[in-house]
């Protein structure tokens, strides 16, 4: 095990609040395995940066313990912990060449010149920076600068790499590229990595596991598949991707999943999470891409009927909003419209979904 947080909390004094303080991190338990890439994901202010700073030692926890490679490090200053941080702003030296920037960490440690040169060349090669070795930062693109920053962090061979939204200053295309690059480099060096972002696509792309946070608390820890397809609660389901919630009653459990009443029709969800009682209420979550639309006329009874309110043609997919007489429009996405055909605004449709794509949750908003 490489990093472990044990009931870590952080309370900041904050005179601007009536209660005089804010709990930025609230009893967080987390284990990051050696070589694993874990992402802290959540909305602004949920405690991601504070958690990362507690791991790096720039912030002391109010309560709880931090372990790195099995050793309790609460009392160790940042420079004694075997971690390296990559920030949003690149933090590379403007007056040094790429080569000098990359090698700086080793020079600082007083390594022999030949070793510094050799190791710098090796890292620059892995990072695709060799051709840029003599350039200064102002002669580099944003993505290239970020790669230099990454090379600088990696050359020290830290046991743990910490990233705080390292790509948020880059344009969308570059961000896509750099994500894959960060993942490739992390895997080739096998460095345990903890990555902070509020971008769910980014989290899905790079992570072995995702920690979804809200209000300083961990809502769920799971693989990208688990947090998307088997969310622990409504907050997670809603924060990651888009989702339709159908409130149901009179739940019953079987091998096949959960059956329950939705407006007089018995519907089935293949999986479930949270505290749902036999005979009680629940919420069935169905992603837009899992809803099947059929022309209304003549089809067998479906669980829901409606009228297309909005149809946005995006080439690969068509996004629909359907007025089904509920308090929110139902969202549906259909793929490959050239083959599947598409509906127009005003068309009547009936909706269905495969039970495997429906996930039942406890009815409370957030536990």
Ligand X SMILES: Nc1ncnc2c1ncn2[C@@H]1O[C@H](COP(=O)(O)OP(=O)(O)OP(=O)(O)O)[C@@H](O)[C@H]1O
Binding site for ligand X (CB under 6 A): 12, 14, 22, 24, 42, 44-50, 198
Give least dist CB 83 to Mg ion, A.
Answer: 17
* Nearest CB to ligand X, comparing residues 10 and 152: 10
Indicate which single residue of 2, 9, 39, 49 sits in contact with Mg ion (rule: CB under 5 A): 49
Stretches 46-54, 86-94, 101-109, 254-262: which one binds Mg ion (CB under 5 A)? Answer: 46-54
22 makes contact, choosing from Mg ion, ligand X, none, with CB < 5 to 8 Å by partner type, with ligand X
Q: How far is the CB of 41 from ligand X (least distance, A)?
A: 9
Q: Which does 79 bind (CB under 5 to 8 A by kind): Mg ion, ligand X, none?
A: none
Q: 100 to each of 121, 135, 152, how far by Cα in Å?
A: 11, 10, 10
Contact string (CB under 5 A) for Mg ion, positions 6-45, x = contact: ----------------------------------------
Check residue 169 and give left, alpha or beta (phi > 0: left; psi -120 to 50: alpha).
alpha
User: How many angstroms separate the CA atoms of 153 and 142, rounded?
Assistant: 17
Q: How far is the CB of 334 from ligand X (least distance, A)?
A: 33
DSSP 101-128: HHHHHHHHTT--HHHHHHHHHHHHHHTT
Least Cβ distance, residue 194 to Mg ion (angstroms): 13
- Should residue 51 be labelled a site residue for Mg ion when binding is judged by CB under 5 A? no
Compute the least distance from the CB of residue 48 to ligand X, in Å. 4
Angle at the Cα of 292 from the Cα atoms of 305 and 332, rounded to 5 degrees: 80
Quick one: 104 or 195, whose CB is closer to Mg ion?
195
Q: Decide which of Mg ion, ligand X, none touches 103; Cβ closer than 5 to 8 Å per partner kind.
A: none
Angle (CA) 301 305 307, round 5°: 145
As measured in angstroms, the least distance from the Cβ of 322 to ligand X is 33
CB of 50 to ligand X, least distance (A): 3
Q: Residue 144's binding partner, choosing from Mg ion, ligand X, none, with beta-carbon cut-off 5 to 8 A by kind? A: none
Question: Which residue's CB is nearer to ligand X, number 99 or number 214?
Answer: 214
- Give the span between the Cα atoms of 216 and 275, in whole angstroms: 22
**Sheet containing 217-222: which strands, arranged edge to edge?**
83-86, 160-164, 192-197, 37-41, 209-214, 217-222
Task: Indicate the residue whose CB is closest to Mg ion.
Answer: 49
In the chain, what are the helix, strand and coil shares in percent, each to the nearest 5? 30, 35, 35
Pairwise CA distance, residues 56 & 32, whole Å: 14
Residue with tokens 């990208």: 224
Binding stretches for Mg ion (CB under 5 A) = 49
């Amino acid at each position: 095990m490489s990093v472990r947080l044990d009931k870590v909390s952080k309370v900041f004094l904050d005179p601007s609040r009536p209660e005089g303080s804010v709990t930025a991190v609230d009893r967080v338990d987390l284990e990051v395995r050696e070589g694993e890439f874990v992402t802290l994901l959540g909305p602004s202010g949920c405690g991601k940066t504070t958690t990362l700073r507690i791991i790096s030692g720039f912030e002391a926890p109010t309560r709880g313990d931090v372990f790195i490679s099995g050793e309790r490090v609460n009392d160790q200053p940042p420079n004694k912990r075997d971690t390296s941080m990559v920030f949003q702003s690149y933090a590379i030296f403007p007056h040094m060449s790429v080569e000098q920037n990359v090698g700086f960490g080793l020079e600082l440690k007083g390594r022999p010149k030949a070793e510094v040169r050799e190791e710098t060349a090796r890292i620059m090669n892995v990072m695709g920076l060799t051709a840029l070795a003599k350039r200064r930062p102002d002669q580099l693109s944003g993505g290239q600068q970020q790669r230099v920053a990454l090379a600088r962090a990696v050359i020290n061979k830290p046991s743990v790499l910490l990233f705080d939204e390292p790509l948020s200053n880059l344009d969308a295309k570059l961000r896509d590229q750099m994500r894959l690059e960060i993942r490739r480099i992390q895997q080739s060096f096998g460095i345990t990595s903890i990555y902070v972002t509020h971008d769910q696509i980014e989290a899905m792309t790079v992570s072995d596991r995702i920690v979804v946070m809200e209000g300083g608390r961990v809502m769920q820890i799971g693989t990208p598949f688990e947090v998307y397809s088997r969310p622990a609660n409504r907050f997670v389901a809603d924060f990651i991707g888009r989702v339709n919630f159908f409130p149901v009653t009179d739940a019953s459990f079987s091998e096949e999943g959960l059956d329950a009443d939705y407006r007089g029709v018995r519907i089935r969800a293949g999986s479930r999470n949270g505290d749902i009682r036999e005979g009680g209420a629940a919420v069935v979550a169905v992603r837009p891409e899992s809803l099947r639309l059929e022309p209304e006329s003549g089809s067998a009874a479906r669980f829901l009927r409606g009228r297309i309110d909005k149809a946005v043609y995006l080439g690969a997919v068509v996004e629909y909003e359907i007025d089904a007489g509920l308090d929110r429009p139902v969202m549906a996405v259909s793929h490959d419209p050239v083959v599947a055909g598409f509906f127009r605004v005003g068309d009547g449709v009936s909706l269905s979904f495969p039970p495997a794509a429906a996930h039942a949750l406890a009815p409370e908003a957030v536990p």
